[in-house]
């Protein structure tokens, strides 16, 4: 009897190219102690056999083996169950069966396979902690169920057949095409180095997604059926990466320590030592660094990979990582690298990168250069400024990034990086490879449009021309999303909800309010404010305040106010940025208008980025607001008609806005609205 030894092989990190021998060694999860005999297996002379009383794990593992062998060879491989006799001379794949019982005990979740001249045997630690009436869901959707036999099949497909699951879904499954399987006899084993290895995408759960997209138009929402399909694809992808947990011998779910998103790999050991002083058992690190969906190229994959490697080396019991629902190119590289690091500690990042880029054929090097451009961008610009960006968003990193986007991204970044993808399109590619690269390019174009939309809004100021440019850019972004939603849909609803949560940061909703109209003038000037923590303003009729009354209110600090002497000093990227701080409570805002400042004709006040509920009054008359119904959420951007309430006989008009911020999401004080006037074409037709 031969013992099965698991080994971990470290491959030095390289910058270009990875030798095939090193890739093979890095992916190896075991050592074989007897000479391996090469053999050829024809798929039309092979049969998959499962026991009559096969477990749910073995049944599903047989389905997966059959499905992938057909993908590799182009020929279906039959599955026989129970007493059905296989054809004489057929090569047998026994799933859920061991050749003999004299094998060492199985470790938790361990999977083994043994190859010889007449058969291959797959077996492992199969224990169901959470039963499910659907045997496929029982195996895939419950990470606490141990599925060693399934992991043995995946390890076989990975090592022996060259199958890679670089992203969820059929498009992310990549396999070589051969007429016969080239196998080498021997015994192999895979077992986890961590008791808990999980990637979670809670935004794909219908309970969360239905709330997330409540404020989106119906045609932008994901249906419950589509959400379930995408959630299943992600769960299945996690299983194929050999992710899961064994709580019986591992950590409790209550032992997850939330780790700051801005942590560096060098700080992991220090953080673990701090946690161990109070924890009774080795903690599980909970990361949320990949859940911050921005819609922009981030380049965080090496940082995420190194975090997992550092945590594993430091001795954590597990890693639980929350990720964004966007699983398409190129965002999925970070998820793939993290999954490989969790399942195969010791794998080099260059190996993961090479595997991820291989599906692009002759353009693989160009895609790699694109990814490295943005990785350098993360390391040089974004990661060092993490604390400052978070401060600019009041602790919300995404909001802070959107608010200061032009400081960390430029149009040149997008133009320089896309040149690599255009170079890839000039190479000789198969139709499938070209389609992958074109989809990659579409996502880049979307990111560039998103950047321009945010930048144009951030820098528009009080210029009517700049506001018109921002409206046009936001409309182009909306049109692009409408035309290519099927290619962007993985994370688009969550991204659009994120933009809305951050104050309609791309202006797509705001731009719709200028239909047949244009921004004429921004009512910046000097606004006054008065907090109303006791909600006394309505009974005291603050909405009908006169010009003299609002002069007694406090002045609203503006981001455009001249900086103080301290604020004029340049601050390092790691220092928090100073911003005007306003209380998060019911607040009234007011300013005066001169009747002559209101143009003739149909005039609207257009608000953007309003937190919570708002009501707008002119001279004590309610113009409207964004009050939600029981079926809707408050609109972040909205408009009210102004001209009918203007009292021409009054020299001074008083505009009052009552804002009641919600308790959830980032707080954004009232921003000066724009006056909207009809476009010349509409005005001429009136």
Same domain assignment for residues 544 and 432: no
Residue 651 lies in a domain: yes
- The domain boundary, picked from 506, 533, 559, lies at 506
Residue 181 lies in a domain: yes
Same domain assignment for residues 376 and 479: yes
Q: Which residues of the chain, if any, have pLDDT below 50?
A: 1-34, 248-253, 560-579, 630-631, 683-684
CATH at residue 623: 2.60.120.260
504 in Cβ contact with 550 (< 8 Å): no
Quote the DSSP letter at residue 228. H
pLDDT computed for residue 343 by the predictor: 94
524 in Cβ contact with 672 (< 8 Å): yes
Q: How far apart are CA 684 and CA 686, in angstroms?
A: 6
Partners of residue 286 on adjacent β-strands: 258, 320
Same domain assignment for residues 472 and 575: no
Q: How far apart are CA 378 and CA 300, in angstroms?
A: 6
pLDDT computed for residue 528 by the predictor: 94
Same domain assignment for residues 473 and 548: no
Omega before 454 within 30 of 0, i.e. cis: no
Cβ neighbours for 649, distance < 8 A, ≥ 6 positions apart: none
590 in Cβ contact with 658 (< 8 Å): no
Which among 206, 184, 169 has a CA at the least distance from the CA of 335? Answer: 169
Q: At what angle do helices 268-276 and 301-314 cross, to 10 degrees?
A: 40
- The domain boundary, picked from 477, 506, 535, lies at 506
- The domain boundary, picked from 461, 476, 506, lies at 506
Same domain assignment for residues 113 and 175: yes
Angle value at C-alpha 397, between 391 and 400, nearest 5 degrees:
60
pLDDT computed for residue 302 by the predictor: 94
Residue 275 lies in a domain: no
pLDDT computed for residue 490 by the predictor: 66
357 in Cβ contact with 367 (< 8 Å): yes
Same domain assignment for residues 441 and 556: no
Residue 273 lies in a domain: no
Give, rounded to a whole angstrom, the gap between the first and last alpha carbons of the chain.
93
- Report the chain's C-alpha Rg in angstroms: 30
Copy the structure tokens of residue 82.
Answer: 């129970």
Residue 423 to residues 278, 331, 366, Cα–Cα distance (Å): 54, 20, 7
Same domain assignment for residues 387 and 444: yes
CATH at residue 174: 3.30.379.10
Copy the structure tokens of residue 418.
Answer: 């896309």
Tell me: the pLDDT tens digits for 74-127? 999 999 987 788 888 999 999 999 887 778 899 999 999 999 999 999 999 999
Neighbours of 104 (CB within 10 A): 11
Same domain assignment for residues 587 and 633: yes
Same domain assignment for residues 180 and 93: yes
Same domain assignment for residues 641 and 662: yes
Tell me: the pLDDT tens digits for 660-676? 887 766 777 889 999 99
Domain that holds residue 522: 517-685
Residue 330 lies in a domain: no
Cβ neighbours for 35, distance < 8 A, ≥ 6 positions apart: none
Residue 155 lies in a domain: yes
pLDDT computed for residue 574 by the predictor: 44
Angle value at C-alpha 325, between 323 and 331, nearest 5 degrees:
75
Same domain assignment for residues 430 and 579: no
Q: How far apart are CA 487 and CA 9, in angstroms?
A: 38
Same domain assignment for residues 527 and 442: no
Counting the structural domains of the chain, the total is 3
Handedness of CA 397, 401, 404, 409 (dihedral sign): positive
pLDDT computed for residue 173 by the predictor: 93
Residue 125 lies in a domain: yes
Residue 300 lies in a domain: no
Helices (H) and strands (E) in the chain, counts: 22, 27
């Amino acid at each position: 009897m031969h013992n099965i030894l698991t080994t971990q092989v470290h491959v030095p990190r390289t910058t270009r190219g990875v030798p095939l021998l090193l890739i093979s060694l890095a992916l190896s999860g075991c050592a074989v102690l007897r000479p391996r005999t090469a053999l050829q297996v024809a798929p039309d002379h092979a049969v998959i056999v499962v026991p009559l009383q096969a477990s749910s794990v073995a049944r599903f593992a047989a389905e997966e083996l059959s499905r992938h062998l057909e993908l590799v060879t182009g020929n279906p491989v039959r599955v026989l169950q129970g007493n059905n006799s296989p054809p004489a001379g057929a090569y047998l794949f026994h799933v859920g069966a061991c050749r003999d019982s004299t094998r060492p005990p199985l470790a938790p979740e361990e999977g083994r396979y043994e190859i010889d001249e007449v058969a291959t045997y797959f077996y492992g630690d199969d224990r169901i902690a959470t039963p499910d009436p659907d045997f496929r869901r029982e195996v895939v959707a419950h990470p606490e169920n141990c599925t060693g036999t399934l992991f043995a099949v995946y390890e076989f497909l990975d090592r022996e057949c060259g199958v890679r699951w670089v992203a969820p879904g059929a498009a992310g499954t990549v396999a070589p095409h051969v007429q016969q399987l080239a196998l080498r006899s021997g015994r192999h084993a895979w077992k986890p180095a961590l008791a808990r290895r999980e990637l979670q995408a809670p935004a794909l759960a219908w309970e969360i997604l239905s709330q997330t997209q409540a404020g989106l138009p119906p045609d932008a929402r994901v249906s419950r059926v589509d959400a379930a399909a995408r959630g299943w694809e992600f769960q299945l992808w996690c299983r194929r990466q050999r992710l899961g947990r064994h709580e019986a011998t591992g950590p409790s779910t209550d032992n997850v320590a939330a780790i700051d998103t801005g942590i560096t790999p060098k700080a992991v050991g220090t953080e673990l030592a701090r946690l161990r002083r109070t924890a009774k058992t080795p903690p599980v690190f909970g990361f949320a660094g990949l859940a911050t969906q921005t819609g922009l190229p981030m380049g965080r994959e090496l940082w995420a990979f190194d975090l997992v490697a550092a945590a594993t080396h430091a001795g954590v019991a597990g890693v639980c990582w929350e990720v964004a629902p966007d699983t398409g190119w190129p965002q999925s590289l970070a998820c793939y690298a993290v999954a490989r690091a969790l399942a195969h500690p010791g794998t080099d990042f260059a190996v993961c990168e090479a595997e991820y880029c291989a599906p692009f054929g002759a353009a693989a090097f160009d895609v790699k250069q694109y990814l490295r451009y943005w990785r350098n961008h993360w390391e040089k610009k974004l990661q060092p400024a993490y604390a400052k960006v978070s401060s600019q968003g009041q602790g919300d990193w995404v909001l802070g990034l959107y608010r200061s986007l032009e400081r960390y991204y430029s149009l040149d970044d997008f133009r320089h990086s896309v040149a690599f993808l255009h170079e890839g399109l000039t190479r000789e590619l198969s139709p499938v490879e070209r389609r992958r690269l074109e989809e990659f390019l579409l996502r880049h174009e979307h990111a560039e449009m998103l950047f321009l939309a945010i930048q144009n809004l951030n820098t528009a100021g009080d210029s009517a021309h700049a506001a018109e440019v921002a409206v046009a850019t936001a409309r182009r972004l909306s049109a692009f999303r409408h035309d290519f939603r099927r290619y962007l849909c993985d994370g688009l609803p969550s991204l659009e909800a994120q933009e809305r949560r951050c104050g309609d940061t791309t202006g797509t909703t705001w731009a719709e309010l200028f239909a047949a109209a244009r921004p004429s003038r921004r009512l910046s000037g000097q606004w006054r404010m008065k907090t109303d923590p006791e909600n006394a303003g309505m009974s005291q009729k603050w909405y009908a305040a006169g010009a003299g009354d609002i002069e007694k209110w406090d002045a609203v600090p503006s981001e455009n106010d001249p900086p103080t002497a301290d604020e004029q000093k340049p601050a390092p990227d790691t220092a928090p940025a100073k911003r005007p701080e306003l209380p998060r409570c019911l607040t009234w805002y007011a300013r005066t208008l001169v009747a002559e400042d209101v143009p003739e004709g149909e005039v609207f006040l257009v608000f953007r980025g309003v937190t919570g509920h708002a009501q707008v009054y002119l001279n004590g008359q309610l113009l409207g607001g964004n009050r939600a119904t029981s079926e809707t959420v408050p609109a972040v951007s909205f408009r009210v008609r102004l001209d009918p309430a203007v009292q021409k006989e009054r020299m001074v008009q008083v505009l009052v806005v009552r804002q009641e911020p919600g308790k959830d999401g980032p707080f954004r004080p009232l921003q000066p609205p724009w006056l909207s006037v009809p476009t010349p074409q509409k005005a001429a037709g009136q």
